[in-house]
Amino acid sequence: MLAAQQVLSDLEPTVERLLERHLATSKEWFPHEHVPYGRGKDPVIGEAWTAADADLAGHQIDDAVRSSLLVNLLTEDNLPYYFRTVEQMFGNDDAWGTWVRRWTAEEGRHSMAIYGYLMATRAIDPHELERSRMAQVSGGITPTPESLQDGFVYLALQELATRIAHRSTGKMMGDPAGYEVMMRVAGDENLHQLFYRDLAAAAIELDPDGMVCAMERQVTSFAMPGTGIPNFAEHAKRIAAAGIYDLAVHHEQILVPVVQRIWNVENLEGLSAEGEQARDRLMARMAKSERVANRLTERRERQAAPALA
């Protein structure tokens, strides 16, 4: 594994190129233009929330979608700690620092848009949301990749996972305004995952051993952001049961297209004995992930069959 400073130095031209591409393809947008403020009402201090309070343009959402909205927003609210982690890995100078600050500025508007929508429509309990936010942000828990190479892999997988979670949630909301908010946020996340995905691909060419070892660690330990959110296990169970994000989605929409196809880990050349061993473990893990994904997909199809009969 190459030293972090060497990797940062050697990849700086790549970061400059990816940053230029990002700035050329990203589009300006304004959170307030996506919030249906006309549905809002003045709050009553201490008034308990019920699902009947929600104004979702005639649509209903279930507890799984509410859990996903809460988890998605709280993940965005934890941005200060993600910024700290990424800046510590990349530094604050030159193109690396410029990217970190730009990424942070774009991520910051995600919580503005989602929070504004939720407060205007009262789609979820605002008291639960605020108490959960205070608990999570006060805890300051975020993943801490053990190396720069681990950070590249984690960020690429995490940004794609977040994009998928936002899009899936939006599609299940029914409300056109809510759908638009989630699609707009997911659009940013897509550009972010492209940046990190292609940065990781460049790092693989530079340091294949270090990156394959990092892939093996990150694929084995990856989990959606949420540690520190109260009742996260219960929320995650609902989200998975609804098919918004589960192990099948993770395998089919993240591991296969990115690790196998884009990064082409199976066909990498020039690995040392350590790298080869890490790849063997990684491919074994991928095979196990595929088996789990197939079982989940088959179970979901069986459960859906009676409804289609």
Give pLDDT tens digits for 58-90.
888 999 999 999 999 999 999 999 999 999 999
Q: How many Cα neighbours within 13 Å face the side chain of 270? A: 9
pLDDT given for residue 59 in this prediction: 85
Q: Say yes or no to pLDDT of 308 above 60.
A: no
pLDDT above 90: residue 222? no
Confidence of residue 306 (pLDDT cuts 50, 70, 90): low
Per-residue pLDDT tens digits for 272-290: 999 999 999 999 999 999 9
pLDDT class for 309, splitting at 50, 70, 90? low
- pLDDT over 90, % of the chain: 85
* Whether residue 159 has pLDDT greater than 60: yes
Rounded Cα gap, residues 106 and 91, in angstroms: 18
d(Cα 209, Cα 211) in Å, to the nearest integer?
A: 6
pLDDT value at position 1?
A: 85
Residue 147 has pLDDT above 90, yes or no: yes
- What are the helix (H) ranges across the chain? 4-25, 63-77, 79-90, 94-121, 126-139, 148-171, 176-206, 208-221, 232-241, 247-250, 273-308
Q: In percent, how much of the chain has pLDDT > 70? A: 98
Is the Cα torsion angle 132, 133, 134, 139 positive or negative in sign? positive
Superfamily grouping for domain 10-25+59-308: Ribonucleotide Reductase, subunit A (1.10.620.20)
